[in-house]
Amino acid sequence: MRMWASRSSKIPCVVFVDDFAWIGFNQFSVQLRHEGIRTLRVNANSRARPPLSARMLYDRGSARLLYDRYEILSNDHDVAGLRKILQSEAVLDVQFVETLGDLVLEASDALGVDVRNAVRRRVEMTDKFAASKLFAEAGVRTPTAVPLSRWSAEDAAQNLGLPVVVKDRIGSGGSTVVIAQDIDELRTAVAERSSSIESSYYEEYVEGVKLNYGAVFSSDQLEQELTYRVTDWVQPVGTAIEAETIGDERLAAFGRSAVAASGCVGLMNMDILRDQDGVDWLIDFNPRVFGGCTNFLLADLNVAQGYLRTVGMRSSPPESSQLVSGIRLRIFPNSLSKRVLTGSFRQAVLGFLHESRPYLKRLGLRYWVAEAMATVVWVSMIRRTRSASHDSTKDEMH
């Protein structure tokens, strides 16, 4: 279902495939457009079609501000629809949400050989259990991982020790991760996955300091790398709200070993835990545009420049290859979450005006307007949810 398109389809294009508006994709699209690259958003969520809601109207409005073309598939299995879109463009790369990896893989025959191979490798690495095994075999330290179907909750607790982590093999943003502190929590987590037990696994829990390593890797060299520490995030294991850039060669060396083992090209980000003995463990690997990568413009690193080298659209090296150390930055717009969750438009607007200022300068007015719209929709959804909950409680009392 074509919504609209601007600029010629002959201009090289990066395609973003999602099922709702991803902040990281939106921000990175703006960066690429500033560099002269055409961007296309493909929404695989059929609910974006009529009948329209206020949220879907925002979704379309923001896409028009941030992308050159916007398409909506009939559903998240519409391989033919995605293939037709890819065939109509000069595609440099496809960035996708992990849960849509199979869709992208099936339509990847519409891509050029080099792009297809790079995309297929990233799809393979979105299976967190398989990726964990690959890294372990390559000598990159990862926690013990065991399929959920192999052990009972009691077996997992006995063999791994509590707490135990339960993860889905395919997921993002920590939304499906459970850290079971006791046997009852663990039994509940296992029971909730009884109908999809082959899609989940147990993971050994590692206590430590949360660190991150990011990289932009071309076919033959490391273009840029990021070492930082997440200092605040959506609890218990969600997206980052605040981060501090750090100079840590040991962390960088560990990250580089994982990059080499992955076989991936392009943008990558890793969650790493450093335990009490100073040993680093790879917890999560994401081979795509990651949330926060654009925010590091405030630390003088433009990852779009390195990325364009990986897709053959930039000949000169990036202006900067590493982060400036010692900078603490808010991960906008996630950093508004605490204010938004109050349900107060005043609190949210004040926070937005303060934290969005640097991005108005770096990403432009169209991006700023799109995020302003998103903040209003976000607060409205919180207020409606709480109002519905309040009404439901009143009905139960009566």
Shared domain check, 222 and 307 = yes
Shared domain check, 26 and 122 = yes
Residue 358 belongs to some domain of the structure: yes
Shared domain check, 245 and 357 = no
Residue 272 belongs to some domain of the structure: yes
pLDDT at 391: 53
Residue 396 belongs to some domain of the structure: no
| Angle 17-22-28 from CA coordinates, rounded to 5° | 85
pLDDT at 387: 74
Average pLDDT, the chain: 91
What's the number of domains the chain is made of? 4
Among 37, 34, 35, residue whose Cα is nearest residue 16? 37
pLDDT at 386: 82
Shared domain check, 115 and 157 = no
Shared domain check, 341 and 261 = no
The CATH number linked to 89 is 3.40.50.20
Q: pTM score, two decimals?
A: 0.92
Shared domain check, 301 and 368 = no
Shared domain check, 280 and 351 = no
Cα 189 to Cα 184: distance, rounded to the nearest angstrom: 9
Please answer whether residues 283 and 271 qualify as being in contact, where contact means their C-beta atoms are separated by less than 8 angstroms: yes
pLDDT at 187: 97
- Compute, in degrees rounded to 10, the torsion defined by CA atoms 91, 94, 95, 100: 140
Shared domain check, 326 and 211 = yes
Residue 6 belongs to some domain of the structure: yes
Q: Which domain holds residue 25?
A: 2-126
Cα 280 to Cα 270: distance, rounded to the nearest angstrom: 12
Question: For the chain, which residues score pLDDT lower than 70?
Answer: 1-9, 48-55, 173, 236-238, 388-398
pLDDT at 50: 59
